[in-house]
Chains A and B, each alone.
Chain A
Amino acid sequence: METDWGLAAEETLRPSPRPKVTAARRLSYLKERAIESLLLFAAFSSVAITLGIVSILIYESSTFFAHVSLREFFTDTLWTPLFASPRFGILPLVMGTLVTTAVALVVALPIGTVVAVYLSEFAPPSVREIIKPALELLSAVPTVVYGYFALQFMSPLLQKIIPGLPTFNMLSAGVVMGIMIIPYVSSLSEDAMRAVPMSLREGAYALGANRIITALKVVYPAALSGIVASYILAISRAIGETMIVAIAAGMQPNLTLDPREPAATITAFIVQVSLGDLPHGSIGYQSIFAAGMTLFVMTLVFNILGYMLRKRFREVY
């Protein structure tokens, strides 16, 4: 049989004659389009939330900055917005935030990194399968519970080591906060290290390196992009953490670099004001938005920095 198979195949594949566009078909088409728009609307809601955050922060803090000059806001060293003669220098709050964050990072970054290296390069798979979810539970504990722990357990413990440590201090708040963010560092860094191709490790082993040299000189640099991302996430979490510092670090703005002293952070100040009953539109009410704006910009800067570092250190295999 001298059939042109190609043509015949095409014949069978040709779509059946276009069906008449019935009302039902049109309805089904409309329904599909309606559903798609609805889903797009849902996806867009996240953008709306961001717009809401940015516009409310700008709107409310603009009325604040109509009363308080930017110069005073950034250079004054006293933050007493609720006093009879208010002073609006954000520095003490920023310093409190930075000191507690620094303490938390001193705890979380080394421990988290070592745990990540251990889980990814040393631990047997059975251990890893248990330890990793167990560590992740650390980040599932409500932060107010950590606050209780910092005040009732960590502070008395540290007071035994450091005599004269006040009950409220940035050190115990920072240490507990650091332990809380260990899993953010360890889980994400471990994921990044495990994504490094096995051939790189084998290359190092073939050259006579042991595990720790391989981990530190080959795997860690290769995974640096992901590890940096986890560090940045830890920093943003520490800056924005509220309940631990509000409970355990004290509520007095205090311009100091000494973590043994009590000091309020930006977040603690917002909580303190919100607990009171400030009238809508008062300068005290607006001051929490100015403080929130500062916090938002700080985390934004770190997020952008993280994005740039991630690009800078990205290795492609």
Chain B
Amino acid sequence: MSDFRRIIAKRKRQDFVFNIIGIVCTLVGILTLGALLVDLLVDGLPRLSLTFLSSFPSRFAEQAGILSSWVGTILIMIVTACAAVPLGVAAGVYLEEYARKNWLTNLIEINIANLAGVPSIIYGLMALGLLVYQFRLGQSVLTGGLTLAFLILPIVIVATREALRTIPQGIREAAYALGSTKWQVVRHHLLPYSVGGTMTGIIIALSRAIGETAPLITIGALTFIAFLPPPPVQAQPPFISFGWIWSPFSVLPIQMFNWVSRPDQAFAVNAAAAGLVLIVVTLSLNAIAILIRYRVRKRIKW
């Protein structure tokens, strides 16, 4: 009997020990995230000010700012969203609702799974060879936006499909029974009901695109840019201008990279401040996505 007790005690001890190991390992991740945030805050927060946000980069670390790079990031994101969201949602709808089981569908599905595993810098090389030199789009906002759109397309497609998959079949059948065409079912029912899940995916994809650096460096984004693209709104007719999509650009992560790779420690402080802006934007986008997912899950009960 005492043998038996000893074995039980030993097994309980094993469980306890692993429990500790598990908690420690989990903490490694959480604490690193914490250390990273604290490190950025300590180094960068004193540097963060309105002048930092509204100044162009400069040779002098104290005068340098991130105006051209955050404007560039926003412009790039507009192009990326305009390209990736319609294309990705349409592709997701096709694969989930329209596609027949045939070799073409199979090919597309395998292809999307593989695209997600392609390193981001490869997309940059593709954009450099294809968009910059073959299509002659130049090293412009348009090229940068499209490059990132290609990159996040698989994420948007997969998110759309997963959101559509959660809608019960009965909804579709009810709409068909009332005489809807397939597109009417999609347009009036499936898209509105799946908007929460799709939005979550889109926001996560965009937050990934905001932090992407390598593909934009590869297509030749500038690291030092001391002017803003032409504004999209003009005083004289036709009031709206698309001149900005042809403008050269820099983005926040590239500006940060430029500062990190300088030996002067004063620029490292700038890099920390830029990184702080970047991480606040990406983490809040992720928080918004988690919030939307949580609310959708709570609200919708089929």
Contacts and interface: CB of A to CB of B under 8 A. Distances in A.
Nearest to B212: A142
A133 interface: yes
A213 B14 CA distance: 9
A46 interface: yes
Q: In this complex, which of A38, A49, A186 has the most chain B Cβ atoms within 10 angstroms of its Cβ?
A: A49
B251 to A, nearest CB: 10
B16 to A, nearest CB: 9
Contacts of A182: 28-29
Nearest to B18: A212
B93 interface: yes
B286 A140 contact: yes
Interface residues of B, number: 86
B150 to A, nearest CB: 5
Given A53-B126, A123-B22, A274 B94 contact: no
Interface of A: 28, 31-32, 35-36, 38-40, 42-47, 49-50, 52-53, 56-57, 59-60, 110-111, 114-115, 117-119, 122-123, 131, 133-135, 137-138, 140-149, 151-153, 179, 182-183, 186, 210-213, 215, 233, 236, 239-243, 246-247, 267, 270-271, 274-275, 280, 288-289, 292, 295-296, 299-300, 303
Given A47-B108, A134-B30, A153 B35 contact: yes
B36 A149 contact: yes
Interface string B36-67: 10011001000000000000000000000000
A138 B29 contact: yes
A210 B15 contact: yes
Main secondary structure of the interface of B (DSSP, over half): helix
Contacts of A135: 26, 29-30
Interface in B1-15: 11-12, 14-15
Interface string B80-107: 0000001110110111001100000001
Given A140-B207, A145-B256, 16 more contacts: A35-B183, A43-B90, A46-B157, A52-B126, A53-B123, A115-B22, A142-B253, A143-B213, A144-B213, A145-B275, A210-B12, A211-B18, A212-B18, A267-B214, A271-B217, A296-B119
Given A32-B181, A56-B130, A111 B117 contact: no
Contacts of A300: 114
A138 B37 CA distance: 11
Nearest to A241: B119
B225 to A, nearest CB: 14
B33 interface: yes
Nearest to A134: B30
B283 interface: yes
A42 B96 CA distance: 13
Contacts of A36: 94, 98, 182-183
Contacts of B43: 152
B213 to A, nearest CB: 5
Contact of B94 (A42, A141, A146): A42
A211 B107 CA distance: 42
Contacts of B278: 142, 144-145
Contacts of A133: 290
Contacts of B148: none
Contacts of A40: 94, 98
Contact of A144 (B93, B111, B154, B257): B257
A147 B126 CA distance: 24
Nearest to B287: A137
Contact of B39 (A31, A38, A52, A152): A152
